[in-house]
Structure 1
Amino acid sequence: MNINITLRDPIASDANVFYEHQADPVACRVAHFDARTEKEFTQHWQTITSRDDVKISTIDSDGSVVGNLVSWQQDGQRLVGFWLGQNYWGKGVASRALELFTQSLPRPLFAYVHTSNIASQRVLEKCGFMLCTHVACDNEQEFLFRLD
């Protein structure tokens, strides 16, 4: 299946879709991420959209919000993350979107992914990220990837 995607700046209504994506119990289990309540998500969204160091793109497919990409500074590193609606998993959307997104970002870039999240690891690898190290974080095991 060939899905046409574009990246664009988020609009206010995108946040509703992003909230639903991050609240998906299957996605949370795969990502080892605890979903935020609607109030927590709204506060988080307001915080990140007001920060100068944060870049967010909506992944759009023919007018439908597919997911989002985000980049931010943390502990002297520029990190990236991505989240897609489950209907778009396994179709190459994340890899294409991340490749487009990272073209305009300064290097090096870093991404953390849970050791059991093989699909996200593959997305990073397809986009040229290399495994750097294994990290223990809050009783979880993560890999740190780097793109130069």
Structure 2
Amino acid sequence: MKVSLRETQDGDLPIFWEQLTDPQLQYMAAATRKYHYDRAHFDQFWASVRSNPTVLLWTVLADGVVAGYASVGGSPSEREVSYVVGRAYWGRGIASQALAELIRLEETRPLHATAAADNVGSIRVLEKCGFVMTGSGRDFARARGQEIDVVHLKLS
């Protein structure tokens, strides 16, 4: 499967909404926000992200079809990666290829990431791309309604 990144377009947002409201995806990601549940907040969030010049945002394409998104945001000293690939695309190496391309485009180092400690797939994606675990902690996971263990990773 050919994976590529392109600039996010207005027509991508309904697909992102569908992916982010998937209960299984929410459970795996764990760290959901209000925009995962409310379309008006979703629209506000994406308008803000897309207009922020410090955010590097790309749509992930798998064989030309929107599969998700990948982004980097935050201050220069605390740049953090984020990515979502729809459940229909899990287990095909798409997230790994998309993240590899994203970190090639973002030259700032270090890059940071956080994942639910039980999200083995996401941790594996990050490690394949050179991230190493630097610590752990606890965070409230809205999608699970409880505090969970999280891991922090860094790419130097």
TM-score tier by shorter-chain length is: over 0.9
Give TM-score, length-normalised by structure 1. Answer: 0.93
AA at the equivalent of 2:154: R
Match of 1:49 in 2: 50
1:36 shift after superposition: 2.8
Match of 1:118 in 2: 120
1:116 shift after superposition: 1.0
Aligned residues: 146
In 1, Cα distance between equivalents of 2:81 and 2:139: 17
Give TM-score, length-normalised by structure 2. Answer: 0.89
Q: Secondary structure at the match of 1:116?
A: coil
Q: Secondary structure at the match of 2:31?
A: coil
Match of 2:93 in 1: 92
AA at the equivalent of 2:60: I
Q: How does 1:1-148 map to 2 (within 5 A)?
A: 3-34=1-32, 35-74=36-75, 76-105=77-106, 106-138=108-140, 139-148=147-156
Runs (4+) of structure 1 exceeding 3 A deviation are none
C-alpha distance 33-137 of structure 1, shift in aligned 2 (>3 A) = closer
In 2, Cα distance between equivalents of 1:74 and 1:144: 17
1:74 shift after superposition: 5.0
Higher relative contact order (CA 8 A, sep 6+): 2
Q: Secondary structure at the match of 1:77?
A: coil
Segments of 5+ residues of structure 1 without an aligned counterpart are none
Q: Is the 8 A contact 2:73 2:80 kept in 1?
A: yes
In 1, Cα distance between equivalents of 2:76 and 2:44: 22
1:45 shift after superposition: 0.3
Q: Secondary structure at the match of 2:14?
A: helix
Segments of 5+ residues of structure 2 without an aligned counterpart are 141-146
